[in-house]
Chain A
Amino acid sequence: MNNTPWALALHGGAGTILRSKLTKQEEARFREGLADALRAGTAVLEKGGAAIDAVERTVIALEENPMFNAGRGSVLTSEGGIEMDAAIMDGRNLDAGAVIGLNTVRNPISLARLVMEKNDHVVLAGKGAEAFARERGLQSMPTDWFVTERRRNQLEEARKTQAVSLDHNDGKYG
């Protein structure tokens, strides 16, 4: 067994991904986004930083990248809205925080961490979570900031077939 002192893994979603449906440019953008996020997290670990900081930094990088289904670039509900969820957990002490149904918080994972560290509860949802984010000074963005043309097109396609889709189906649903 490899007893490497630190390790980081990340995912950007799963699905019925077909190489033939993904253009070379799209694939390159996905790979670049994965690499950027990996570097954000490993930069923390290489300096002796904490695992909890590394996973937050990694996920923030993915939330900021509109290619992935989280934060900016989130998929749309059947009503065309944004509803983002996030959770974080610290293996040292089983501390955990989660947020549900956000539509303005720029980085949901950072709000989950604030719930874990600065709130008596484990999970906050909807208006209460948004209010806690404002109280703690987390950055909010207008809903339109999260919505990309690609996601609007995917919703239209899904509505036509009444499909509810995983992150990546035939390269259409991210």
Chain B
Amino acid sequence: TVGAVARDMGGNLAAATSTGGMTNKAPGRVGDAPLIGAGTYASNRGCAVSATGHGEMFIRLTVARDIAAMMEYLGLDLEEAVRRKVHDELPALEGAGGLIAVGPEGLPVLSFNTPGMYRASRCAGESEQIAIFE
């Protein structure tokens, strides 16, 4: 699975996710990537999220929208909302994977509960960050 989140100079957010699914998956199986609110979500009132991992668990937890909702209704910052989802709630369902997110301000958050996630980020005036392993 691959994905991207962005904030532009106008403060607008967007998210995109694309995938071939899982190796040896049953024909017709659909994961979280194309389900709005599970693996992909963007709202200028909250954040933009793209996820990767055990899609079934990300669907059950409506991961992407829930992170935005925690920011909107609980007033959590992006980092804390992502931490709760990726490191508390997903592991409780044995949901392995991670996500990238960006809010209306601040740096992107890249978080995962597996040994690694292929990832990269960059902000205005900053250098590229590229990493694979934890």
Contacts and interface: CB of A to CB of B under 8 A. Distances in A.
A55 B19 contact: no
A52 B18 contact: no
Interface of B: 1-10, 12-31, 33-36, 39-44, 48, 50, 52-54, 96-102, 105-110, 112, 114-126, 128, 130, 132-133
B100 A11 contact: yes
A155 interface: yes
Given A9-B100, A11-B1, 7 more contacts: A75-B22, A78-B26, A83-B25, A85-B21, A85-B30, A90-B12, A163-B24
A166 interface: yes
A2 B102 CA distance: 12
The A interface is mostly helix, strand or loop, or mixed, namely mixed
A154 B21 CA distance: 13
B123 A6 contact: yes
A3 B104 CA distance: 9
B102 to A, nearest CB: 5
B12 A14 contact: no
Nearest to A65: B2
Given A5-B124, A70-B19, A108-B18, A10 B2 contact: yes
The B interface is mostly helix, strand or loop, or mixed, namely strand
B3 A10 contact: yes
B133 A63 contact: no
Interface string A1-26: 11111111111111111110010000
A45 B6 contact: yes
6 contacts: A13-B117, A14-B53, A85-B21, A90-B12, A94-B42, A155-B24
Contacts of A69: 1-2, 19-21
Contacts of B122: 7-8, 38, 42
B115 A18 contact: yes
Nearest to A72: B20
A144 to B, nearest CB: 15
B16 A112 contact: yes
Contacts of A114: none
A46 B6 CA distance: 12
Nearest to A111: B18
Interface string A127-159: 000000000000000000010000100110011
